Amino acid sequence: MTGENIMADQILQLKTIDSEIQKLIHTAALLSWDQETYMPPAAVDERSEQLALLEGLIHDRITGQRAGELLEGIGLSEDQPDGPDSLDPAQAAFVREFYRRYRRSIKLPKKLVTERARQSALAQRVWVEARKASRFSLFEPNLSTILRLVVETAECLGYDEHIYDPLLDEFEPRMKTSELESVFARFQERLKTLVQRIMAGRPVESSFLKRSYPVEKQRAFSNLVLTAIGYDLKRGRLDISAHPFTTTLGCSDVRLTTRYNEKYFNTGIFGTIHEAGHGLYELGIDTSLCGTLLADGTSMGIHESQSRMWENLIGRSLPFWKHFYPQLKTQFPEALSHIDLEQFYRGINVVRPTLIRVEADEVTYNLHILLRFNLEKKLVCGDLAVKDLPDAWREESVALLGVAAPGDADGVLQDIHWSMGAIGYFPTYSLGNLYSAQFFKVMEKELPEMTRPGGLLERGEFAEILSWLCQKIHRWGKTFPAGELCERISGEPLNPDYFMDYLEQKFSDIYGI
């Protein structure tokens, strides 16, 4: 064989290994999805063992000797983590991502990987119970175990600057804690000023959102919106879980969950649209990448840019509701009687520092993230003990938001992430907010028909919007790293000004400031 042929053959062998890994990842995803949706409660111990086994099998294959030899043969190394220049772009992306995954995994003992899977599965069930009882102490032992395993993971992965770096890198590849801190610093002051101005603006009435919204009707409406924006339910589902999430079980099997609150309209619909944003990304990946490790979002920040864009820039916009509000009003004639479109739009966009992140308005949302980012850094550095977390949460909440939850359910226990060991994930929500505004600005320019009066959104026509997102973002999967993708789309690196411009304009109108 010629050198070129040898390399093509080595890549083919890697693809075979990867194909098996992907099938196992999707199988493990089903075990997790089922645990959150339909699994009988008593099965949790056995499920945690099944998940630990699967994660171990995945780890074996990622770190297998043959994979290492092939990567070396192709020319991947610490000094050349992107592989040789001779590869075509698709091959280059494949080996780059394979090597990235290999390099991370090879540093982790299998025992640590399986133990994390086992303990996460167990902790999630305890978290649900603890949240129901609003008692952090029930969850504390599990979280301590999880934190110990996460810190051990970070130590194994290694870091130059901050122990948080390798954790963040799992969700936002190539981003450093210090970069993130400077991103936050760049818009934090402007955000605070905006919050103060809004608080002095004309008040927004939103109490009608807490009237009675029967769950069955919410579910029907969620499905209606899902179908309208182009979610293909032959390739996905919408179910109910304690914490909304999206999971990929294959290129043609991307499942969403949401939750409904009869006494608060926003929970269900915006949870659904948010997750649909994630799901549309996964379903939009080019079929040529199907079954490979490139068939995945390129970073959680980019992923959240899609969920937050659909949820907020589209889903909380006036033209969107110009289309859907008449249908909504037919579903809930009592709750929405005497509420006109304008009032509804202002109501769903009310800005108010509150307790629950997933129900926060667009303006204060990033403060919820900052709170978690600050606490996570302290936890992994050992500057904060798990037992002191509820108090620290309250303090941080008062400092950033001016409010604090009396109980744990609405405070430290509100999010599922830590129970899953997903420390380092939260900041990607803020990155998603920033990216979403930056991308939306470009989309508005290239699709002037989108937001203008009588345009696509007002007509409830989402196909062109989805197609734009697909062409620019979805289809590529992990082909381009987040930073490169951002430059390709917008011609510049991540720039928080777009997000702040967007917020200031939108909320100046709403609050008459």
Token readout for 490 is: 């917008």
Of 2-10, 45-53, 449-457, 494-502: span binding a copy of itself (CB under 8 A): 45-53
Contacts of 226 (CB under 8 A, 6+ apart): 233, 238, 256, 272, 276
Residue 53 vs 466, nearer CB to a copy of itself: 53
Residue 33 vs 511, nearer CB to a copy of itself: 33
Closest to 14 measured CA to CA, from 60, 55, 62, 70 = 70
The one among 11, 14, 36, 50 contacting a copy of itself by CB under 8 A: 50
* Nearest distance from C-beta of residue 42 to a copy of itself, angstroms: 4
* Nearest distance from C-beta of residue 145 to a copy of itself, angstroms: 22
Per CB under 8 A, 27 contacts a copy of itself: yes
Of 197-205, 229-237, 427-435, 445-453: span binding a copy of itself (CB under 8 A): 229-237
The one among 38, 79, 207, 453 contacting a copy of itself by CB under 8 A: 38
User: Is 343 within 8 Å of 205 (Cβ atoms)?
Assistant: yes
Per CB under 8 A, 110 contacts a copy of itself: no
Residue 62 vs 180, nearer CB to a copy of itself: 62
Q: How far apart are CA 513 and CA 194, in angstroms?
A: 10
Distance of CA 416 to the CA centre of its chain: 12
Per CB under 8 A, 23 contacts a copy of itself: yes
The one among 13, 15, 26, 329 contacting a copy of itself by CB under 8 A: 26
What count of Cα atoms within 13 Å lies in the side-chain half-sphere of residue 115? 14
Closest to 427 measured CA to CA, from 207, 211, 171, 221 = 171
Of 42-50, 62-70, 112-120, 132-140: span binding a copy of itself (CB under 8 A): 42-50
Catalytic residues: 275
* Nearest distance from C-beta of residue 47 to a copy of itself, angstroms: 7
Dihedral (Cα; 440, 442, 448, 453), 10-degree rounding: 30
* Nearest distance from C-beta of residue 413 to a copy of itself, angstroms: 23
Per CB under 8 A, 459 contacts a copy of itself: no
Sheet strands (E) in 309-409: none
Binders of a copy of itself: how many residues, by CB under 8 A?
36
Q: How far apart are CA 276 and CA 282, in angstroms?
A: 10
Of 41-49, 82-90, 329-337, 431-439: span binding a copy of itself (CB under 8 A): 41-49
Contacts of 172 (CB under 8 A, 6+ apart): 180, 299, 300, 301, 424, 427, 428, 431, 482
Per CB under 8 A, 251 contacts a copy of itself: yes
Per CB under 8 A, 46 contacts a copy of itself: yes
Closest to 239 measured CA to CA, from 257, 254, 221 = 257
What is the distance in angstroms between the CA of the first residue and the CA of the last residue of the chain?
A: 71
Residue 250 vs 319, nearer CB to a copy of itself: 250
Chain positions 259 to 298 lying near a copy of itself, rule: CB under 8 A, are 291
Per CB under 8 A, 20 contacts a copy of itself: yes
Of 26-34, 168-176, 198-206, 418-426: span binding a copy of itself (CB under 8 A): 26-34
Q: How far apart are CA 481 and CA 473, in angstroms?
A: 11
Closest to 257 measured CA to CA, from 34, 28, 23, 25 = 34
List the 253-258 sheet strands across, edge first.
Answer: 236-240, 253-258, 246-250
Token readout for 476 is: 């590529």
The one among 6, 12, 34, 193 contacting a copy of itself by CB under 8 A: 34
Q: Summarize as ranges the residues that interact with a copy of itself (CB under 8 A).
A: 20, 23-24, 26-27, 30-31, 34, 38-43, 45-47, 49-50, 53-54, 57, 232-237, 239, 249-253, 255, 291
